Amino acid sequence: MAFDPRDPYDAAALYDMWLNCQACPATFDFEPERPLGLDYYHDIGQRAKTEGWVVREQPPEEGDQDVSYLVCCPQCANRLGLSPTHTHHQRHGRAPGTIMDICAAVRAAESEIAA
């Protein structure tokens, strides 16, 4: 499995560069010494998913931002009654334009490093 911009976990990790719980100071910061790249964000997202973090794409608000994410650590998700399973249906949707743009920029940077 590679980075999937339609997966809110991968996308939120890319967008925020790591995952911050919005209800407490917890962060999910997995192997900070690894080089940043799409594989890294994908691993953060999928590891957080496995550990019970809740990440949901939020409907766009009026204004210029076309994407935002709700991020909750397992403890807060439990406390607030949020279930990670609700995210599955979002995988069939279209990836937000902002995510595709960041994704393309990171890919371009990666190919420059590799060249």
- Chain positions contacting Zn ion, by CB under 5 A: 21, 23-24, 26, 73, 76
For 79, what's the count of Cα atoms within 13 Å in the CB-facing half-sphere? Answer: 9
- Of the two residues 27 and 101, which places its CB atom closer to Zn ion in the complex? 27
- Of the two residues 75 and 106, which places its CB atom closer to Zn ion in the complex? 75
Q: Which amino acid is at 36?
A: L
Smallest separation, CB 76 to Zn ion (Å) = 3
- Of the two residues 17 and 76, which places its CB atom closer to Zn ion in the complex? 76
Smallest separation, CB 78 to Zn ion (Å) = 9
- Of the two residues 24 and 109, which places its CB atom closer to Zn ion in the complex? 24
What is the C-alpha to C-alpha distance for residues 40 and 78, in angstroms, rounded to an integer? 27
Locate 86 and state its tokens. 């609700």
Q: How far is CA 30 from CA 41, 42, 66, 98, in A?
A: 9, 11, 27, 23
Rg (CA), the chain: 14
Smallest separation, CB 69 to Zn ion (Å) = 14
Tokens 């609700």 correspond to what residue? 86
